[in-house]
A = this chain, B = another copy of it.
């Protein structure tokens, strides 16, 4: 549960941003956005004026919102006809998160609010959320601990003859039974994913996901994640799973294999560790995201692995790390053309990976928190390939 002080700091931070931009207030209707500021994810709208106390307007459940909300003023959502009267007549510019607000809702609120202008505050909001507080970092550490516990158990149920979906089932069973698994939220329109327990050729399949690995999936209706294929001897098994504790996500990948792996794959694994070391040795506030990505590309290229880096040849992702927190696709992104500056409190999953078409995927992923002077690993587990 979110401490009251967190909610106050977040709201004050938002109000400062709104004030600086001459925006009269923000209205949030996306559930996670409402939750971030008031600690309650009910079906509700949250009004945060640039100056003064916020109000939570609840559709369902009012009872539960009153139990949970850290914003004091909780009311039933007004009927359409009474909505405008709720707002001060001086309100002229209202901020909304255009990145997730559907057009139908937008048009509905245009009618309800008799205002001059709606402005997009998605970027302001996403940048705020990218910087984690000590309390948030504690949630992510716990998420990491619980996830590592399950990774430690993988060799006990990753047995010869098992199918990818059975491996996934074993991992998800332990996360769920341990009360760890929550929804794996993503913000971008086109993105859906599950944990990846994928091996060999099906791990290397090209895919819709904006990352190095998509997986083959079970059908074209959800063409990602584990397939029904039996995991073969000598194929790299990529276990790329999120842990979700109290809403907070950490992301982690390890490679397993029955028997051994081909030499070129083992060499690629060493290169992924080298990229990880290089990035985490220099990671600190003030660096530019793109520079970190380009540094990683250079190492991959000088090892002759440029065409395999971060995706299926020709469809490679142009990043090497992504922000994580309440969503899997947070800021910042260590990506081409991303000139954002690294700040203390950023939490980044760094995942240098190499795709061998038809053969499998090799690489590493850990989640790191940027500190004042460097970074800290939140997924504290040995990086090595586990041979079975």
Contacts and interface: CB of A to CB of B under 8 A. Distances in A.
Interface of A: 1-2, 29-31, 35, 39-43, 59-64, 68, 96, 98-107, 120, 122, 163, 165-166, 168-170, 172-174, 176-179, 182-183, 189-190, 192, 194, 205-210, 214, 218-223, 228, 246-248, 312, 314-315, 326
A247 B134 CA distance: 41
14 contacts: A31-B192, A35-B221, A39-B220, A42-B223, A63-B206, A68-B220, A98-B103, A102-B189, A104-B122, A163-B177, A166-B177, A170-B177, A221-B248, A221-B326
A220 B1 contact: yes
A2 B221 CA distance: 9
Tally of this chain's copies: 2
A207 B165 contact: no
A89 to B, nearest CB: 25
Interface centre among A103, A173, A179, A222 (most CB of B within 10 A): A103
Contact of A105 (B68, B172, B189, B315): B189
Given A166-B176, A221-B246, 13 more contacts: A40-B223, A42-B223, A43-B208, A60-B206, A61-B206, A63-B312, A64-B206, A68-B220, A98-B102, A102-B189, A165-B178, A172-B172, A173-B173
Given A168-B176, A169-B177, A222-B41, A120 B96 contact: no
